[in-house]
Structure 1
Amino acid sequence: MRAVVRHEYGTADVLVVDEVPVPRPGRGEVLVRVDAAGLDRGAWHLMAGDPPAVRLALGLRRPRDPGVGSELAGVVVAIGPGDRSGLRIGDVVLGAGLATFAEYAIAKTTALCRRPSDLDAVAAAALPVSAVTAHQAVVDIARVTDGQRVLVIGAAGGVGAYAVQFAASCGAVVTAVSRRDKHAAVRDLGASAVVDRERVDPRDWGVHDVVIDIGGRRPLAQLGRLVARAGALVLVGGEGGRGPLGGTSRQVGAALRSPFLPFRARMFVSTVTTRALAPVVEAVADGRVRPVVDRVVGLGDVASGVSALEAGSLVGKVVVVPDAPTETA
């Protein structure tokens, strides 16, 4: 089968399309024919081996598993031994898998749910990691309620586009921080106000009951000035930074300092499970949230999609469709 792989860490240039064996599902796993796969920030970290600490699990000098990608939508075509999940061959599913930028991918049954018939594969593939992360940040961690003032930093990205929608669906007054050229898009997602991150000083972003910082690198002291007393600061991911932990060192620092701050500072690692997918799929079904897809690319154009992600030029997600034609030379 065809799959996107990398044999070394680096920039998008290390990604190539190669022929690899179709994997076999083990216990608690299924093989999914991938109809579409979402590109999330985690794929970039796997590609780059960044922060350096992740290489302890991935391989110190080069990746042990060359595959890339974690979100998928597709059809179950084989089931591992001793399965008790209730999934059957032919079931149409969405969720998280391994090396999903491929024609076939392995997924744990506990990270999948059945896909509603009115949700197409491309839209479904844009949900699993990003929408689940946003839901957990807004609903489970921040516990956003009606009338609260919520600031979403990084509002136009894969997670941010869903965070704006979930917060607005909770009845919050949402202020979105993004580049100026994305303001119309984030307003359309439910933001009541928008802030130009490049032109407006953070000290003028106001004070909010909840601040959700997605993939940022702003110091905790700066973010703390944006949070109301007894409010909540939720750090989702972290980019840049030095040392083995990279940007995640800021999250660790926030967790350690939280007991001494006048607000709740929380970091968390999102986990895609069947249970976590359920409220996301329900929110899409009843129209509170809609999948946000910036572009669809084939396997041969995954590198260009990653480059667009790095450049911050996207609104929402890149979705990879294995049989889509390659456009880049």
Structure 2
Amino acid sequence: MKLKRLFAWTLGVLVVGAGAAFAVGWFTSTNSCYTDPPVSPRDPMKAVIRCDYGTAERLEIVNIEKPVPADDEVLVKVRTAAVNPLDWHYLRGTPYLMRLGTGLRRPKEIRMGVDFAGTVMTVGRNVTRFKPGDAVFGGRTGAFAEYVTVKQDRAIALKPANLSFDQAGGVAIAATTALQGLRDGGRLKAGDRVLINGASGGVGTFAVQIARTMDAQVTGVCSTRNVAMVRGLGAQEVVDYKRADYTQGPARFDVILDNVGNRTLAENRRVLVPDGRYVLIGGGGPDDGRWIGPMLKPLGAMVTSWFVDQHLGMVLAELSQQDMNVLRGLMESGAVTPVVDRRYPLREIADAVRYVESGRARGKVVIVME
């Protein structure tokens, strides 16, 4: 009973605080969208922007000024980028609580996209890690564009020679999330039994492969049409969620990596060992609660963790060059191979976002610059 009261109090504080911020911010926030200035860019490039929160129809392809690298930056000609669930959350501005950081009435950042792969064109005078002509991959806000600048010590690394630009363009967020979810959140070790819910999605396809490199016993959960693919990625056991409920089976797991969030915390805890680790990655669709949305479940997990031996929490990927290079090594060795579902030209960016938002993507959805 005390736990329920504490949880309700915490949630109430969040909601009231968010509401107060919106009441103030609604009348005070401003937005200077790129389309406002009348001056045409002198050295233009195409980029995807959105001036307001909304659906994929809000996305625009416009000409903006091509960036010039600072002394510690590289200029990358983007060959491919990728759509992530994060993109449509930012596009819609939901759950509303996130707008405390992204902008109340309108988005502070109008550029879209994070994952990219491309070729270094020029480098700043202090850059020593990269040179013109290098094929690279990484993550940086504004990747849905013909060019991006990236600091040489941020989330950028040399592209593995055995990967295509299509494959490398979809690595950064999904693969980093899988790596950090298993290694840091799940503290996965050799011999552990790990269940990956949503094993056929962007994060899931990486997670199955990364878990196998850590010598874990992998069970993947996916739909009927994806069973063979998930097994081919290395899962020893595959649960078809259309035929069975993993939370009702006899198996017990040391780690659950939950990319879907379609089962209650209590149901997941039932199939965890007494000191198991539950790591929530996803669990929010476009029609979830608009104020709190998928944030309700991780909040409940963290509060519950205070009172039980099981570790329950959430992981949000933190992109870094160190982990880009870890992933590069795994992909160069052939142990991890990105799965690309569909590729869209830049002009069809809205269709690509809608497809990812539908939840039907198998692996990654890539945007090809024209």
Does TM, normalized by the shorter one, top 0.5? yes
Aligned to 1:103: 146
1:234 aligned residue: 279
Give the whole-Å Cα distance in 2 for the aligned partners of 1:140 and 1:239.
22
What secondary structure is seen at the aligned counterpart in 1 of 2:293? coil
SS in 2 for 1:247: helix
1:86 alignment partner, one of 106, 129, 142? 129
State the match for 2:19 in structure 1: none
Alignment of 1:314 onto 2:367? no
Matched, 1:303 2:303: no
Q: Percent identity over the alignment? A: 37
Q: How far off its partner does 1:217 sit?
A: 4.3
Aligned 8 A contact 2:74 2:127 in 1: no
**Cα distance, 1:182 vs. partner?**
1.1
1:68 Cα deviation (Å)? 0.9
Deviation at 1:163, TM superposition (A): 0.6
**In structure 2, the residue corresponding to 1:68 is in which secondary structure?**
coil
Residue in structure 1 matched with residue 160 of structure 2 by the alignment: 116
Report the alpha carbon displacement of residue 26 of structure 1 after superposing the two structures with TM. Answer: 4.3
Once the two structures are superposed, the pairs formed by residues 1-329 of structure 1 within 5 Å of their partners are 1-26=45-70, 28-80=72-124, 83-84=126-127, 86-109=129-152, 110-205=154-249, 206-240=251-285, 241-242=288-289, 244-323=291-370
Relative to 1, partners in 2 of residues 1:44 and 1:108: Cα closer, same or farther, differing over 3 Å? farther
Question: 2:94, 2:290 within 8 Å by CA — same for their partners in 1?
Answer: no
CA offset at residue 59 of structure 1?
Answer: 2.1
Cα separation, 1, equivalents of 2:162 and 2:204: 24
Mind listing any 5+ residue stretches in structure 1 that lack a counterpart? 324-329
- Partner-residue secondary structure (3-state), 1:20: strand
Deviation at 1:245, TM superposition (A): 3.5
The Cα of 1:274 is off from its aligned counterpart by 0.7
One-letter code aligned to 2:226: K
Q: 1:266 to 1:46 in 2, by over 3 A?
A: same
Equivalent residue pairs, number:
322
- Checking the alignment, whether the CA contact within 8 Å between 1:29 and 1:108 is kept in structure 2 is yes
Where structure 2 has 5 or more consecutive residues not aligned to the other structure, the ranges are 1-44
Q: Tell me how far 1:160 sits from its aligned partner.
A: 0.6
Instruction: Measure the CA separation in 1 of the matches of 2:193 and 2:271.
Output: 11
1:282 Cα shift? 0.7
Q: Kindly name which structure, 1 or 2, has the bigger radius of gyration based on alpha carbons.
A: 2
**For residues 122 and 301 of structure 2, what CA distance do their matches in structure 1 show?**
44
Scaled by the length of structure 1, the TM-score of the pair is 0.91
Question: CA deviation digits over 1:121-148, x for unaligned, max 9?
Answer: 1111121111111111112321222332
Q: CA deviation at 1:60?
A: 1.6
Question: Aligned with 2:306: secondary structure?
Answer: helix
> Which AA in structure 1 matches 2:190?
D
Give RMSD over aligned pairs. 2.0
TM-score normalized by the length of structure 2: 0.81
Spell out structure 1 runs of 4+ moving beyond 6 A.
none
Asked whether the equivalents of residues 73 and 127 of structure 2 are also in contact (C-alpha less than 8 Å), the reply is no
Range with greater deviation from structure 2 (270-279 or 213-222): 213-222
Counterpart residue identity of residue 294, structure 1: D
Which stretch shifts more, 159-168 or 118-127? 118-127
Distance 1:89 1:251, change over 3 A: same
Residue 286 of structure 1 and its aligned partner are, at CA, apart by: 0.9
CA distance in 1, matches of 2:184, 2:141: 26
CA positional deviation for 1:243? 5.7
Paired AA for residue 231 in structure 1? G
Cα separation, partners in 2 of 1:28 and 1:266, compared to 1, 3 Å: farther
